[in-house]
Amino acid sequence: MLKRIMTLLQGEDNAARESRFERVQVATCALLLEVAQSDGHYQAVEAKIVHDLLAKKFDLSAAAVTELVDYSQEHRQESTDLFQFAREINAHFSRAEKLDVMEGIWRVIYADGTLDKYEDALARQLATLLRLEHKDVIDRKLMVLGETRSEK
């Protein structure tokens, strides 16, 4: 009874929030956040790219993306590794969809115009966890890098 009262006072409980987001959405968001924060700086341009990628990929409103980011951030901080998120993506995404996630990772990395050594190492780790071929990962990297350079 006390738990139910506390839930009512605090608003919606975790189960209700979790049911609103599919696990694959949380996993994708968590990986993008990990990359965005890997260099120790979560810049506004990185946050915008993360939000835009999630809104487009999952057809979410701006408010839903903000809530997804907050929820995923909590899960990411509680997690001991990235494998659980990659496993979820591997279970539900096709190769093409996983390459789209990898492309998003490169977009977040190059948002500030530089490739930090920690970001590069993390991108390689995520490519392995997502079971992607090196050539495909590099192709997406070069595509994003080319677009980034042509925009300047």
Tell me if 122 sits within 8 A of 38, measured CB to CB: yes
Closest CA to 32 of 63, 53, 62: 53
Quick one: pLDDT at residue 6? Answer: 41
Please provide the DSSP assignment of 124-139 as one string. HHHHHHTT--HHHHHH
Quick one: pLDDT at residue 21? Answer: 66
Residue 94, exposed/middle/buried by CB under 10 A (0-12, 13-18, 19+)?
A: exposed
Say if residue 76's pLDDT is above 80.
yes
CA 30 – CA 111 distance, rounded (Å) = 17
Torsion angle in degrees (nearest 10) through CA of 62, 145, 25, 94: 140
Question: 18 CB contacts (<8 Å, ≥6 apart)?
Answer: 71
Around Cβ 111, how many Cβ atoms within 10 Å?
20
Say if residue 119's pLDDT is above 60.
yes
> If pLDDT is split at 50, 70 and 90, which confidence band does 82 have?
very high
For residues 150 and 76, the model is more confident at 76
Say if residue 19's pLDDT is above 80.
no
Report the percentage of the chain scoring pLDDT > 70: 86
pTM comes to: 0.84
CATH number for the domain formed by residue range(s) 15-151:
1.10.3680.10
Tell me which DSSP letter residue 40 carries.
S
Domain residue spans of the chain: 15-151
Tell me if 50 sits within 8 A of 108, measured CB to CB: yes
Tell me which DSSP letter residue 62 carries.
H
Phi, psi of 67 (to 5 degrees): -65, -40
